[in-house]
């Protein structure tokens, strides 16, 4: 039986919204637990995994909602000028307890520049990319920012294995090509490239680029914003 | 957590006073813990909105960290509005809104005052130190400017902003935004425009486009402003301030129906902004869309519960709209509207019992409600008491007098109503807004349904006249005048058609009909905007009958 009155994507979006808030509370409690029982929990693999996975789910849900709003044509980029080093530091800070606990070194290599972008949208992209890097790196993570060809380029680099060949591209991943078997749905990349394309200036628009190498020799994620 | 990062040589947290507002004790304590480890020393914790506002009344606070959700009663946005509106928190002090949601939609309701920053839970020490640290650094750097703004020394603030632009390019966005606002505030529209143009020249940023359209509107370039805002909304359908400005622009163009539609769309997106609901209610009232007006007043009243913007006028306007809806509605719904109106008035009298005029305002509406329910004797009693009370007052406010006149019309005391309206018009002869309201009431002292009916017929009449169908025009105008016999424009419309018919037929009966219509307007106040037309047509009739 199908009820034509049910707008299924609407129902999903509401459920996702609720789950996202719920996970937010959960993450908050985890954060408090970590600071209260720092001695016991520092370096606890189980606790780190708990936090990492909760963080990952939270990111996924944030992106899902973003993509839903994109589909509803209800998402636009509110571009403003931001001081880039502050922005990167702030987002790295969110992950510091987990990074320290996992023994991952972190750094920022950013020029003292201002850039034009939507803070909220880029927050979603950065959180997800940092979270990903935590998963695939060996020992280091670096956030980068530079200006190139009139674009602001924000990057996340690691010293892991890098992206597999079939993922290294600079186009837009489409949902059709997502490989659910591999466990990586590329939801994050789809979201990131959607956010990049929402950033336009005259006839130029943003894009993402994935490649390997960089200063740390691992995967390099870049978002190019006009 | 022991972060190895080096701190500023001078601890930026140590000198400042902090206020943490959160209804969860655990969160308050962990926030204090984090602030202390950042180097803060003077930290006050409170659980709810009222003690927070109380504390800011008697103490200087540099940084407020306030959770949006504070349980029952006021939320973080209410606290922010009250602190800023009552100037309990200086512009040089920071207000940070802490939200559980990653989205700010809930908070985005009322945009009259915005927090300096949002902090999204979960918050850890590293985040707090980084975020708050850079905000405090910015606060300190801009403090000479915000201090002058607090002192309302705007010219000095402007010149400091201009200096800072070259020395502190890092805060360019803040400086340009502030400059635009300050120039607008001191009425230097040309410089405000130049600031926004400078920004837009570099890049199409929505705040600058909005500012630029605001200046266009203030310069009365209505068409250009409306066009600009429409394009802005096209690009950013979720930019609520743009809707408010568009509505203002459309109103200025005289397109109040479109303005209402724009606000209705905005309140669908974001229903929690009291001022927007109030604006919608007023517009719908002007448009005689009483259903929409009543609903928007209902929302305004509800949103007022915890807001600094709460006012008895909202309750009164809601009751008046409900009374209008109930009037001439003999079905069950009519009685329901009346019952709701009585209960709204009752709540108003309790909530605003400090206001000495509140009972009077309430009884003027009650009188109409009682009459509508057929309880005429009670209505008469209320009216008599109101009448005698008003006679004892020296300076009766305009709105109160207008509402009283409306009640007098409703109770059949037409002469008394006209008398007080004529007096009111004489007292306010230089205020077009007041005169307009008086005219509307004199022209159409009937319920809104009849008003709409008469207006429809008037339109039909004009259409028929334009199409050359004089008989149909006469019929339409005459029908409309059955409902609103003293409507000045309608009477004069009819006279003109009759004169045209006379041109063709020279039937003297037509002139007699003209004379009757013009006689009805013999007491038209000189201030009435149809008065000149009335005089011209009277003269013309004299010429024709001579």
Could you tell me which of B190, B146, B188, B183 has the C-alpha nearest to residue B164?
A: B146
Predicted pLDDT of residue A72: 74
Question: Which of the pair, B1 or A70, is modelled with greater confidence?
Answer: A70
Distance from CA of A166 to the nearest CA of B (A): 33
Residues of A in contact with B238 (CB under 8 A): 74-76
Q: Indicate if the pLDDT at residue A180 is higher than 50.
A: no
Predicted pLDDT of residue B239: 86
Instruction: Specify the DSSP element, H or E, that contains B66.
Output: strand B63-67
The pairs formed by B413-419 with CB atoms below 8 angstroms and a separation of 24 or more are B413/B383, B414/B445, B417/B445, B418/B442, B418/B523
Q: How many CA atoms lie within 13 A of B226 on its CB side?
A: 16
Residues B102 and A66: their CA atoms lie apart, in Å, by 11
Phi, psi values for residue B90, rounded to 5°: -70, 160
With cut-offs at 50, 70 and 90, classify the pLDDT of residue A173.
low
Q: Which 8-state DSSP code applies to residue B171?
A: G
Could you tell me which of B313, B263, B265 has the C-alpha nearest to residue B283?
A: B263
First to last CA, chain B: 103
Instruction: Tell which of B30, B102, B210 to mutate to test the A interface (max A CBs under 10 Å).
Output: B102
Query: How is B182-221 classified by DSSP, letter by letter?
Result: HHHHTT-HHHHHHHHHHHHHH---HHHHHHHHHHHHHTT-
Predicted pLDDT of residue B307: 92
Q: Indicate if the pLDDT at residue A2 is higher than 70.
A: no
Give the residue on A whose Cα is nearest the Cα of B27: A32
Token pair in block for residue B425: 């018009």
Whether the predicted interface score ipTM is above 0.95:
no
Instruction: Look at B236 and A76 and tell me if their CB atoms are within 8 Å.
Output: yes
Instruction: Tell which of A81, A84, A127, A205 to mutate to test the B interface (max B CBs under 10 Å).
Output: A81
With cut-offs at 50, 70 and 90, classify the pLDDT of residue B102.
very low
Residues of B in contact with A80 (CB under 8 A): 173, 205, 207
Place of tokens 């509106």: B85
Question: Which of the pair, B533 or A17, is modelled with greater confidence?
Answer: B533
Question: Which of the pair, B272 or B537, is modelled with greater confidence?
Answer: B537
Instruction: Look at A100 and B1 and tell me if their CB atoms are within 8 Å.
Output: yes
Query: Apex CA B302: angle with CA B298 and CA B304, to 5°?
Result: 115
Of A134-138, B326-330, B396-400, B439-443, the range with the lowest mean pLDDT is B326-330
Predicted pLDDT of residue B215: 97
Instruction: Look at B170 and A90 and tell me if their CB atoms are within 8 Å.
Output: no
First to last CA, chain A: 49
Residue A114 at interface with chain B, using a CB cutoff of 8 Å: yes
Residues B254 and B214: their CA atoms lie apart, in Å, by 17
Residues of B in contact with A93 (CB under 8 A): 124, 126-127, 129-131
Percent of chain A with pLDDT over 90: 24
Predicted pLDDT of residue B145: 96
Instruction: Look at A93 and B130 and tell me if their CB atoms are within 8 Å.
Output: yes
Burial zone of A182 (CB within 10 Å; 0-12 exposed, 13-18 middle, 19+ buried): exposed
Residue A105 at interface with chain B, using a CB cutoff of 8 Å: no
CA dihedral (B227, B230, B236, B239) in degrees, to 10, reads: 110
Predicted pLDDT of residue B95: 96
Number of A/B CB contacts below 8 angstroms equals: 92
Could you tell me which of B236, B242, B309 has the C-alpha nearest to residue B272?
A: B309
Look up the pTM and report it. 0.83
Distance from CA of A2 to the nearest CA of B (A): 28
Nearest to B102 among A24, A93, A114 (CB): A24
Instruction: Classify the phi-psi angles of B290: left when phi > 0, otherwise alpha if psi is within -120 to 50, otherwise beta.
Output: alpha
| Average confidence score pLDDT of chain A | 83
Instruction: Look at B126 and A81 and tell me if their CB atoms are within 8 Å.
Output: no
Q: Quick: pLDDT tens for B367-418.
A: 999 998 889 999 999 999 999 998 888 788 899 999 999 999 999 898 899 8
């Amino acid at each position: 039986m199908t009820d034509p009155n049910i707008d299924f994507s609407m129902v999903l979006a509401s459920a996702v919204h609720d789950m996202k808030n719920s996970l937010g509370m959960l993450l908050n409690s985890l954060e408090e637990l970590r600071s209260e029982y720092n001695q016991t929990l520092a370096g606890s693999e189980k606790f780190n995994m708990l936090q990492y996975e909760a963080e990952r789910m939270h990111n996924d849900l944030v992106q899902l909602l973003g993509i839903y709003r994109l589909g509803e044509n209800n998402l636009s980029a509110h571009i403003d000028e931001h001081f880039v080093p502050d922005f990167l530091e702030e987002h790295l800070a969110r992950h510091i307890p987990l990074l320290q606990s996992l023994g991952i070194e972190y750094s920022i290599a950013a020029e003292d520049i201002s850039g034009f972008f939507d803070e909220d949208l880029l927050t979603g992209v950065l959180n997800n990319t940092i979270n990903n890097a935590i998963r695939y790196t060996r020992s280091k993570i670096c956030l980068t920012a530079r200006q190139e060809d009139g674009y602001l380029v924000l990057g996340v680099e690691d010293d892991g294995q890098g992206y597999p060949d079939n993922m290294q591209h600079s186009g837009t991943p489409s949902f059709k090509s997502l490989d659910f078997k591999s466990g990586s749905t590329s939801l994050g990349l789809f979201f990131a490239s959607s956010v990049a394309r929402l950033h336009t200036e005259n006839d130029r628009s943003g894009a993402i680029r994935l490649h390997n190498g960089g200063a740390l020799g691992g995967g390099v994620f870049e978002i190019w914003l006009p | 957590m022991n972060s190895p990062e080096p701190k500023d040589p001078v601890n930026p947290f140590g000198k400042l006073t902090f206020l943490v507002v959160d209804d969860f004790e655990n969160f308050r304590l962990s926030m204090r813990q984090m602030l202390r480890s950042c180097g803060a020393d003077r930290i006050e914790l409170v659980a709810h909105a009222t003690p927070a506002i109380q504390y800011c009344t008697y103490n200087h606070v540099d940084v407020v960290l306030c959770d949006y959700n504070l349980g029952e009663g006021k939320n973080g946005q209410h606290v922010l509005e009250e602190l800023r509106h009552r100037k309990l928190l200086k512009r040089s002090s920071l207000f940070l809104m802490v939200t559980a949601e990653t989205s700010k939609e809930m908070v985005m309701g009322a945009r009259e005052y915005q927090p300096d920053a949002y902090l999204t839970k979960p918050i850890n020490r590293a985040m707090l130190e980084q975020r708050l640290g850079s905000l405090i650094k910015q606060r300190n750097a801009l403090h000479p400017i915000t201090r002058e703004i607090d002192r309302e020394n705007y010219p000095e603030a402007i010149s400091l902003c201009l200096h800072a632009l070259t020395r502190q390019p890092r805060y360019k966005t803040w400086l340009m935004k502030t400059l635009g606002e300050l120039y607008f505030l001191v009425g230097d529209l040309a410089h405000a425009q130049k600031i926004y143009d400078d920004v837009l020249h570099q890049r199409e940023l929505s705040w600058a486009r909005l500012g630029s359209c605001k200046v266009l509107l203030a310069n009365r370039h209505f068409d250009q402003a409306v066009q600009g805002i429409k394009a802005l909304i096209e690009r950013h359908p979720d930019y609520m301030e743009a809707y408010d400005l568009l509505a203002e622009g459309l109103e200025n163009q005289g397109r109040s129906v479109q303005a209402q539609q724009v606000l209705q769309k905005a309140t669908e997106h974001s229903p929690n902004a009291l001022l927007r609901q109030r604006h919608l209610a007023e517009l719908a009232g002007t448009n005689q869309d009483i259903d929409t007006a009543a609903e928007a007043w209902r929302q305004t009243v509800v949103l007022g519960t915890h807001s600094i913007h709460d006012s008895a006028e909202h309750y009164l306007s809601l009751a008046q709209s409900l009374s209008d809806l109930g009037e001439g509605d003999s079905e069950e719904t009519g009685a329901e509207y009346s019952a709701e109106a009585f209960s709204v008035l009752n709540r108003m009298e309790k909530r605003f019992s400090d206001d000495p005029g509140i009972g009077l305002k309430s009884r003027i509406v009650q009188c109409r409600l009682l009459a509508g329910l057929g309880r005429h004797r009670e209505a008469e009693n209320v009216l008599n008491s109101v009448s005698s009370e008003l006679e004892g007052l020296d300076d009766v406010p305009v709105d109160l007098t207008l509402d009283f006149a409306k009640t007098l019309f409703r109770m059949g005391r037409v002469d008394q109503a006209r008398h007080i309206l004529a007096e009111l018009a004489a007292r306010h002869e230089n205020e077009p807004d007041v005169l307009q309201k008086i005219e509307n009431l004199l022209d159409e002292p009937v319920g809104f349904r009849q008003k709409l009916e008469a207006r429809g017929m008037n339109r039909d009449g004009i259409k028929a006249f334009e199409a050359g169908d004089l008989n149909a025009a006469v019929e339409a105008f005459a029908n409309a005048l059955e409902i609103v016999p003293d409507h000045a424009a309608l009477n004069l419309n009819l006279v003109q058609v009759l004169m045209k018919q006379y041109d063709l037929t020279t039937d003297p009966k037509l002139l007699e009909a003209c004379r009757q219509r013009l006689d009805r307007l013999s007491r038209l106040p000189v201030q009435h905007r149809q008065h000149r037309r009335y005089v011209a047509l009277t003269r013309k009739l004299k010429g024709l009958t001579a």
